[in-house]
Amino acid sequence: MTKELEHSFVSQLEQNQNIVHKICRLYTHDSESHNDLFQEITIQLWRAYPKFRGDSKFSTWMYRVALNTAITLYRKNKRKVQTQDFEGISFKMKSEEYDSTVEDQLKLMYDAVKTLNDIDKALVFLYLENKNYREIAATLGITEVNARVKMNRIKEKLRTILNP
């Protein structure tokens, strides 16, 4: 039974690991902390897994546990002072042509998002993942109206960062 549970968990995590990676990248600054956070999120997911009833999608459930771990439970390693992103932003290009201007703008935007505080980052992340305001509000534990207002303020903040 435990083996079965373990097997289904690992295969689901393997399939959905990109969600965890995206969160790790937003909340850490080097590959070592990235992997460290990934490890901690995996432990938290595994611990909570027996209570996962499947009434929501595995990935939906995962957003919550992963963000909770990144924002609340994970203790940032203060020893490292590196702030450089470990491999720059790398979106795999699907199209043939490579537009460096678009790429640069995206990178600037991404860097701006990374300067936000932990809570704002979570809102933007869920927004980028195409979650609606109801889901965003439910993950954070705030009302839908407040989530909407907050998101507008964050957009304003990002605009100021990008166009000082």
How far is the C-alpha of 89 from the C-alpha of 61, rounded, in Å?
A: 26
**Rounded to 5 degrees, what angle do the CA atoms 126, 94, 20 make?**
30
Q: Is 27 exposed, middle or buried (0-12, 13-18, 19+ CB in 10 A)?
A: buried
Residue with Cβ nearer another protein (29 or 65): 65
- Among residues 93, 115, 134, 160, the one that binds another protein under rule CB under 8 A: 93
Residue with Cβ nearer another protein (29 or 67): 67
Residue with Cβ nearer another protein (84 or 163): 163
**131 binding another protein? (CB under 8 A):** no
**76 binding another protein? (CB under 8 A):** yes
Binding site for another protein (CB under 8 A): 6, 9-11, 13-14, 17-18, 21-22, 25, 38-40, 42-44, 46-48, 51-52, 61, 64-65, 67-69, 71-76, 90-94, 102, 105-106, 108-110, 113, 117-120, 122, 124, 127-130, 138-143, 146-147, 149-150, 155, 158-159, 162
